[in-house]
Structure 1
């Protein structure tokens, strides 16, 4: 057995220990159903100390997301809900770290529709690899569209890549259920994955 093998196994062990520690941290932070700025800052410090030696994409994504949240010094309601969902996902071990949600579990339009932006209304739900929801919404505005809450006039619901297998029980599951019901009733609302949406930017 060569050094490469030992390095890989050793690295896997470090990664696994980090993930266990992060799961414990996430469970502690999310336990009371709320998270404050001081707790987000604590999480940022832990991620900063671990991000370089972890090869887990979700750790890097979470670190970037936490930095974005703290950049303006305000933890708003959307950011609070999004971060809490993500931490709950970790603590419940709901998904393989670094993997996106398998599309088969979501009521996505099949085949996925062609997307346009000018004059169209978008709604975003879940946790996005692209960045915070406000950045996703800005990408729509920059292209002549609108983004906001889910209504019967919404044209497209975009579901973030980092969702969990138990999305039905998460806070953003309500939007997905509502949009699916409206679509079943004949309203022209499209439900797409983040990866599909990004392909049209």
Structure 2
């Protein structure tokens, strides 16, 4: 009976697994194309990605993808044409999918883009600027993980119109948290370059806050004012302040830790819990106290 249940589960879940794979592949291809160059490391990573999904990709209608990839591997199709053909197939699949969840798919595409950017172990200036453009065009993903975190990092990196090597490494360290690089050599290179970078939580940049009926929790030491006054102001605007963080929490206000090393880094027990809840799909927004104070000043 148990084996039958497992087989039924596989049948019922293959559709969602396929959707996720196609969305991730689409993003992966976008990420590879961002710098207008397709190198051997990126093609190798694509091949390894396909091997990981081979059982799924051999099913109809996804076997079309396998035919193109195998032609590319045998050098019958140039790399750029291969990427363009695969991307076209991804779009064709989406257009014919009546049960397509746009938000879920776009988040999977975003993770795929990050995979494509990391595929050769290098993050170029053009890739960062083009990623910013994609983020700006997909603001409907606000409040979702990892969109908010990536956007905060990119905005911070580009705020002075100059990309430092340290900032590039921080972005790489964040990407590697949810990108599974298949190539061992590239994966080890990324590990070595980011070994000293600790990414905990990232507060949302330029947050949009709704107060009426929403729940607010505070963590850390506030540099502007105190918790009692902040609770009072939240209530004035129709919000509900709480002392504990739960799945029902809408906003976590993070006290400034005085760390000048990174503008949007935040740490602590509640932050870690909020990040884990976000990864599970709960739309808890993390807001730095300075951003929240500025927003309150405009409303009160």
After TM superposition, is the score higher than 0.5? no
Q: Determine which structure has the larger helix proportion and give its number.
A: 2
Superposition TM-score tier, normalisation by shorter sequence: 0.3 to 0.5
Instruction: For CA contacts below 8 A with separation 6 or more, give which structure has more relative contact order.
Output: 1
The two structures have a TM-score, normalised by structure 2, of: 0.30
The two structures have a TM-score, normalised by structure 1, of: 0.43
From the CA coordinates, give the structure whose radius of gyration is larger.
Answer: 2
